[in-house]
Structure 1
Amino acid sequence: MSQLSGARMDDACSLLAEPERRYVLYQLSEHQETTLEDVVSQVAAWKHDELAGEVDSEIRQHVYVSLVHNHLPRLADYDIIDYDLRSGDIVLVDGFDDIKPLLEQFRQTEAIPELRTRPAL
């Protein structure tokens, strides 16, 4: 492994250390593209162990702010996703392939059984 790929791996581990970013990528790995509204609902549900339709609006707002101001920009800076805040569209880009094997390892160890039993990435 070259120094550059080693540094990239360190960055990937740091990115994936946050559950919200992993949850966004699990959602996108199944659909390749989604909307901010759908991601907020699903991330809030996984984070609070509830069904997506039952998540309190205050929790959804907190997750929305966290995603928009922290997690989505970091994933975009790493060239894993592209997102348009105005339209709400979020799509995977080529950089996702770099972290896909690592994300799969994280998925297998998630505390949420639903995430562990989903098909491989």
Structure 2
Amino acid sequence: MTTTTPTPPDPGPDGNRAALVASLLDWLETRDRTPAELSLVLDTVSNRRRRVTIDALRAHGEALTLPDLAEEVAVRELDRPLTEIEPEIVTEIYASIYHDHLPRIEDAGLVAYEQERDLVVPAFD
């Protein structure tokens, strides 16, 4: 009888969630956060689109314009090149990030949003 090690399922575009949360927890350890603030951060990263958004910023390591961030999130969520994604879908993702997710991520202290420049600046390493 032979035993084979099962192949783990493909983690897909959100496969780095454990690494992302671990890096955020490491970052939080260097800050003086209350339990309520820690809960806010954990609640923030409980949503897939917010995790993908944060991870995209973390991967770039620098500020991105909101349109560029929306494109990056679309590519990661759909696991397709930008040229194969309909502009309407990117527009929907942009609106979702702008109206729902970005304010929550900003409230958690993970980004700063410069509306005049439409720039999302990561607050974490």
* TM-score over 0.5 for the pair: yes
Aligned counterparts of 2:80 and 2:114: Cα–Cα separation in 1: 27
Deviations 1:15-74 (A, max 9, x none): 001111111111211222111111100111222221123211111111011000011111
- 4, 8, 14: which one aligns with 2:43: 14
Q: Following the alignment from structure 2 to structure 1, what is the Cα–Cα distance between the partners of residues 82 and 55?
A: 15
Aligned-residue CA RMSD in angstroms? 2.0
Equivalent in 48, 63, 67 of residue 97 of structure 2 = 67
The answer (yes or no) to whether the contact 1:81–1:90 under 8 Å persists in 2 is yes
Of structures 1 and 2, the one scoring higher in RCO (CA 8 A, sep 6+) is 2
Superposed CA offset, 1:77-120 (max 9, x none): 12211112342211112xx36xxxxxxxxxxxxxxxxxxxxxxx
Gap runs ≥5 in structure 1 = 98-121
More helix by share: 1
Partner of 2:22: none
Runs ≥4 residues deviating over 6 A = none
**Separation in structure 2 between the aligned mates of residue 85 and residue 19 of structure 1, nearest angstrom:** 24
Larger Rg: 2
**What is the alpha-carbon distance in structure 2 between the residues aligned to residue 85 and residue 53 of structure 1?**
27
